Amino acid sequence: MAIFSDERQQEIHWLFDSLINSLVIAERNSHAQRHTAAAISMRHAKNLMRFLNRSFQDLPDQQLVSHLDDFFNMLERSMDHSMQLPMEQDLEEIRLLVCDLHKGWETLLKPTTSSPDYGTKSDDSYSRGLLA
């Protein structure tokens, strides 16, 4: 991941945080039956998601880039569906998927000089721990 400067890594981290925040706001608005406000937050999240996907296009592994494109396209379709009829559960699932991708990205950025940790992780260390 040396091709990504610290500045670029910070930008990607900011995009993840902003995307997750927009999805949380969309969830809250959906829960409060404010569907117009939820749709606005989802449009904002879609824009952030496109920027994030574009940020990954420079990765040296084209297969990974292709998988990320597929992932973001699937999320975009789900968000389009949710904008027509905001469903809290769908928004939560989208947010948790983005949180898991963020956690995976952060793991990729960690130095690889240490031996891998093969200990078992509890369920709380992943998606459930990222609930807003």
73-107 pLDDT, tens per residue?
Answer: 999 988 888 777 657 778 888 899 999 999 988 88
Count the Cβ atoms, other than its own, within 10 Å of residue 23. 29
- Average pLDDT of every residue of the chain: 81
Q: Percent of the chain having pLDDT more than 70?
A: 79
Q: Percent of the chain having pLDDT more than 90?
A: 40
Domains, the chain, with CATH or none: 6-108+124-130 (1.20.120.340)
CA distance 40 to 13: 22
- Tens digit of each residue's pLDDT (9 = 90 or more) over 38-62: 889 999 999 999 999 999 898 888 9
Return the higher-pLDDT residue of 15 and 119: 15
pTM above 0.85, yes or no: no
What's the pLDDT score for residue 69? 94
Given a cut of 80, is residue 124 above it in pLDDT? no
What's the pLDDT score for residue 3? 58
| Non-local CB neighbours of 27 within 8 Å, separated by 6+ positions | 38, 88, 91, 92, 95, 132
What's the pLDDT score for residue 49? 94
What's the pLDDT score for residue 14? 94
Tell me how far CA of residue 71 lies from CA of 34, 50, 53, 68, 97, in angstroms.
Answer: 28, 11, 9, 5, 9
CA distance 51 to 53: 5
